[in-house]
Amino acid sequence: MKTVVIFYALGEQEMRKLYSFALDEEKCIFFVKVDGFFKEEDAKIYLSEFQTVVNSINPSIFTLIIDGRGQEEVPSDVVDDIIFVLKLYWMANFKTLIIISPTSPASRIQVENCAHKINFPGVFVDSVEEAYNLLNK
């Protein structure tokens, strides 16, 4: 597996990793890990970098795994942004979409409610192991 991008943003006290991408071309898995709270500028950079990776592969043969366990609850006015990102994942036409649900109960509910609103075709799981187990069936 090769790491494509790791992005850091200035936090209040230290640098914090907002996301990382890993592309396993042999197993056809694009693994994305997201952490913390994205500010608007962070989100723009994330979306640009995500699209760059998607444009370099054939998504229809790849599984996209989004590890969202570290996502923090977002203000209600950002819900449309969550829906936008879920649609982006969906419209990229990945073979399989797997979301590892946020650990925070409030964040989990937010993301799952957004997915339900748009009939998101992905599968929600609770752990990385569960995500990979789905691929081995």
- pLDDT at position 96 is 96
Range of the domain at 27: 2-96+109-122
Q: Give a yes or no: residue 136 inside a domain.
A: no
In a domain? residue 137 = no
Q: Are 68 and 36 in contact (CB under 8 A)?
A: no
Tally the domains of the chain.
Answer: 1
Q: Residues in the chain with pLDDT < 50?
A: 3, 10, 13
For residue 63, what pLDDT is reported? Answer: 97
Q: Quick one: pLDDT at residue 41?
A: 75
Q: What pLDDT, in 10s, does the model give residues 85-95?
A: 999 999 999 99
Q: To the nearest 10°, report the CA torsion of 68, 70, 75, 78.
A: -30
In a domain, 7, yes or no: yes
* CATH code for the domain of 113: 3.30.750
* Residue 84 within a domain: yes
The pLDDT of residue 1? 52
pLDDT at 2: 54
